[in-house]
Every structure is written in structure tokens, then in C-alpha cells.
């Protein structure tokens, strides 16, 4: 059974990710209500991710300096206030500002929540604790669009933001009321930033940042961007069939993630990382070779299994490698690498798809994952040596 902290934070991240996902279906349409171009609608979507990218390391340092419970509570409040601002936005510019502020709040909660888990969970159970936390994240991503689309149909484009605001209030309350806080590190800002610098210089942690970047390029670029376009334009699939392809892998991942956490703790981080990344690369490359709806469904089922297990390892390693007293700083940098992949992946692989070569796009994503697997081959010794040293330096 996961710890109380992990159970509470899993519910909190479920609400947070549900809120993020429930406004996703209506964001471009809401932007167009203000008479902006499709590019303007894209700016509204990307502004949230850019804000998260900027605030990830700041939120991590703040969690170390002030304690994660305060940062999580503040994050929930910021999400609630910014969602109200988005619902009442009188102009496109105000809507963009609201989304940027929402990105700050989301990053604050997620970074501080992960900080709490890795500082409170026993190392021998870290994989299982992280896996349970990810069930909340994945569940929110799955149900959010379903709620958001129907809420907009019942009300209007502002209605999902009112729901998101209510969820932000709940997140702030449970964070303050039920989460056991980690004490502030007592380090000065200068000490925390220096510790962050030494963490980046750790070869194992630098490798972990590349792994996180590769994973999120694949998720946002190959899965979210290329796969729907490939299914529609090359195979002639309907919207519902494309939704089935994406949903089946998400469902399988939710089912496999907790057994995967046990596997990461029992077998070890490195072997699961290397094998998982290699198998995920093979399934991503296989997408580009499929010629039917059934084929895509079959590959997606396999993808859900291997990517679901492999995806547990990077955040677990972030906990293993985080220096004592500067865990938030390490988590912030890890999340920043992933958010950078979220931004780069759709642009990079989407530009490849513009040439009409979907197979090349899938192969690029697969190549990045193979490179991540290769990095994993050399992480074991570095992890053992530098974790101890980092904790001494902290």
C-alpha cells in the first residue's frame, strides 16, 4: 500500500491533470472566439507549456527553500485564480496571460508533489510510489477531455475553466490539510543553485535529462502529433478510430503501471530502462509500417505495456540521484527537460510530417529512444558513485 502522502498527492495530481486536460479540447476554439488566427490559437496552447518550462526549476528551488507543502498549496490557489481569470477574460491577451499563470501554478504543484514523494518514500519502494502517483496523472489525462468537451457543450467555452478553478481550490486544500510536509532545507538560494549546478554535472543525472527529453519528444511528437495525422491522411481512419488507437494504449498503461513499479524496484532501474526504451523504440518505429486500423491497435497495446513500464524509471531515477536538501532543484530540472521535449517534439516531428514522410518522423522518435537506451547502459556505475558524492556536497 502506498504511503498516505502518495495517496493524497495522487488524488491531487489526478485533479490537476484532469483540469489541464479538460480545457485542452476547447482552447483553440476559445481563442478563435476572440477573432485570432490559427497561429494565435497555437500560441495560446503553447504558452502554458512555455510557462511550465520556465517555472519548473524555480518551483523546485522554492520547494527546497520554503517546504513543498507551501508551494503545492500556492500552486493550487494560483491555478484556481488564473482559471477564473481565463473564464472571465475580456480579450485574447488576457486569456494568454491567464494561461501563462496557470502554467506557473501547475508547475509549482507538480514539482513540489514529486519532491514530497522522493523525500518521504523509502528508496526500496520508490518505483512503486512513483508508479502509483502516475496512475493519478494518467487517469486525469484520460478523463479530462471527456469532461471538458461535454462541459463546453452544456455551458460554453468558459465552463471548463470554472471546473478547473474548483479543482484548484480542492488541490490547495488537500495539500495544506493532509500532506506531511518536508522541512525546508535551510540552504540559501546561492547554495541551492550551486547544488543544482553540481547535479547537472553528474554524468548520471545529465543522462537522465536526455532520457526525459527523448521520452517527451516521443510522446508529444510521435504519439500526439504524428499518429493522428498518419491515421487520418495515410490510412483514412475516422476520428473515433484514431481516438481508439490513442485510448487503448492509455488504458493499458494505467493497468500496467503499478506492476511496472514493482518490477523497477525488484529488477533494478538500469535494466528496466534499457530494455524498456529499446522496446518502446521498436513499437514507435512499427507505427510507421502499419497499413490498417487493426495493426495500429495492436501496436498501441504493445506500446502501452512497454512505454508504461519504461516511463516509471526516469522519475524514480530523479529521486535516486537528487542530492539531499536540494531534491526540489533536481526535480525541477528533470521536469524542465521533459517540458522542453513537449515543446520541441510537435514542432520538430510535425515539420517532418509536412514533407509527407511520416515513417521518417516515427523513426526519428525511435532513434532518440534508442539513444536513451544506450545512455542507460552507462548509467549504473555513474549512479552508484555520484549519488553518494552529491549527498555529501549538499
What CATH architecture does domain 4-184 belong to?
Up-down Bundle (1.20)
Query: What φ, ψ does residue 183 adopt, rounded to 5°?
Result: -65, 150
- Helix-helix angle 68-87:4-23, to 10 degrees: 20
Helix 269-287 crosses helix 379-393 at what angle (to 10 degrees)? 120
* pLDDT value of position 384: 43
Residues 343, 348, 352: CA angle, nearest 5 degrees: 150
Q: Report the alpha-carbon distance of residue 353 to residue 361 in Å, rounded.
A: 6
- C-alpha of 93 from chain center: 26
Q: What is the mean pLDDT of each run of 10 residues along the chain (394 residues)?
A: 87 92 79 79 78 86 87 96 95 93 92 87 85 88 80 88 96 93 71 71 89 92 84 85 83 89 90 95 95 94 94 90 80 89 85 82 95 87 42 42
pLDDT of 385: 41
Please name the residues in contact with 55: beta carbons below 8 A apart, sequence gap of 6 or more.
103, 104, 107, 108
Contact status, residue 236 vs residue 228, Cβ threshold 8 Å: no
**Phi, psi at 34, each rounded to 5°:** -90, 5
Which residues are within 8 A (CB) of 154 and not within 5 positions of it... i.e. 6 or more apart?
none
Count of residues making up the chain: 394
DSSP letter (8 states) at residue 123:
G
Return the sign of the alpha-carbon dihedral for residues 30, 11, 146, 241: positive
Separation CA 352–CA 226 (nearest Å): 9
How distant, in Å, are the alpha carbons of 146, 196, 245, 257, 319 from that of 248? Answer: 15, 39, 6, 14, 30
- Return d(Cα 93, Cα 106) in angstroms, integer: 20
Rounded Cα–Cα distance for residues 382 and 376 (Å): 10
CA 174, CA 176: separation in Å to the nearest integer? Answer: 5
Q: Which is nearest to 105 in space by CA: 153, 164, 147, 159?
A: 164
Topology agreement, domain 4-184 and domain 195-393? yes
pLDDT of residue 352: 83
Integer Cα distance of 344 and 353 in angstroms: 14
Decide if 22 contacts 151 (C-beta within 8 A).
Answer: yes
Round to whole Å and give the CA distance between 96 and 102.
10
Look at the block and give the residue holding cell 522522493.
118
CA distance 218 to 200: 23
Domain range list for the chain: 4-184, 195-393
* Alpha helices per DSSP H over the chain: 4-23, 27-33, 38-66, 68-87, 92-120, 126-154, 159-178, 189-201, 203-217, 227-233, 239-267, 269-287, 293-310, 313-321, 327-354, 358-377, 379-393
> What's the pTM value of the predicted model, to 2 decimals?
0.82
- For the domain bounded by 195-393, which CATH number is listed? 1.20.1250.20
Query: For residue 233, what is its C-alpha cell?
Result: 491522411
Amino acid at each position: 500500500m502506498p504511503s498516505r502522502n502518495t495517496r493524497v498527492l495522487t488524488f491531487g495530481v489526478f485533479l490537476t491533470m484532469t483540469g489541464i486536460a479538460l480545457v485542452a479540447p476547447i482552447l483553440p476554439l476559445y481563442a478563435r472566439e476572440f477573432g485570432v488566427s490559427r497561429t494565435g490559437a497555437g500560441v495560446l496552447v503553447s504558452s502554458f507549456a512555455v510557462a511550465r518550462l520556465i517555472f519548473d526549476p524555480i518551483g523546485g528551488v522554492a520547494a527546497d527553500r520554503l517546504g513543498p507543502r507551501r508551494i503545492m498549496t500556492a500552486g493550487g490557489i494560483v491555478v484556481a485564480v488564473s482559471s477564473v481569470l481565463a473564464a472571465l477574460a475580456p480579450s485574447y491577451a488576457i486569456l494568454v496571460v491567464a494561461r501563462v499563470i496557470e502554467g506557473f501554478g501547475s508547475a509549482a504543484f507538480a514539482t513540489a508533489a514529486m519532491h514530497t514523494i522522493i523525500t518521504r518514500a523509502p528508496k526500496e519502494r520508490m518505483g512503486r510510489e512513483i508508479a502509483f502517483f502516475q496512475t493519478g496523472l494518467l487517469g486525469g489525462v484520460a478523463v479530462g477531455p471527456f469532461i471538458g468537451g461535454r462541459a463546453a457543450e452544456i455551458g460554453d467555452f468558459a465552463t471548463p475553466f470554472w471546473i478547473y478553478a474548483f479543482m484548484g481550490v480542492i488541490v490547495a486544500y488537500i495539500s495544506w490539510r493532509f500532506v506531511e510536509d518536508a522541512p525546508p532545507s535551510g540552504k540559501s538560494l546561492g547554495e541551492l543553485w550551486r547544488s543544482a549546478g553540481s547535479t547537472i554535472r553528474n554524468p548520471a543525472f545529465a543522462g537522465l535529462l536526455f532520457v526525459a527529453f527523448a521520452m517527451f519528444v516521443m510522446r508529444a511528437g510521435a504519439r500526439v502529433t504524428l499518429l493522428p495525422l498518419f491515421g487520418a491522411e495515410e490510412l483514412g481512419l475516422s476520428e473515433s478510430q484514431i481516438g481508439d488507437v490513442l485510448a487503448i494504449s492509455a488504458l493499458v498503461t494505467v493497468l500496467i503501471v503499478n506492476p511496472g513499479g514493482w518490477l523497477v524496484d525488484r529488477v533494478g532501474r538500469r535494466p528496466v530502462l534499457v530494455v524498456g526504451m529499446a522496446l518502446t523504440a521498436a513499437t514507435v518505429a512499427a507505427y510507421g509500417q502499419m497499413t490498417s486500423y487493426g495493426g495500429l491497435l495492436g501496436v498501441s497495446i504493445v506500446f502501452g505495456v512497454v512505454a508504461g513500464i519504461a516511463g516509471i524509471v526516469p522519475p524514480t531515477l530523479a529521486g535516486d540521484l537528487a542530492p539531499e536538501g536540494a531534491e526540489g532543484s533536481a526535480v525541477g530540472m528533470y521536469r524542465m527537460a521533459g517540458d522542453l521535449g513537449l515543446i520541441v517534439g510537435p514542432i520538430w516531428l510535425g515539420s517532418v510530417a509536412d514533407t509527407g514522410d511520416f515513417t521518417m518522423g516515427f523513426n526519428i522518435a525511435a532513434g532518440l529512444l534508442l539513444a536513451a537506451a544506450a545512455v542507460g547502459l552507462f548509467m549504473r556505475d555513474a549512479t552508484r558513485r555520484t549519488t553518494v558524492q552529491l549527498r555529501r556536497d549538499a
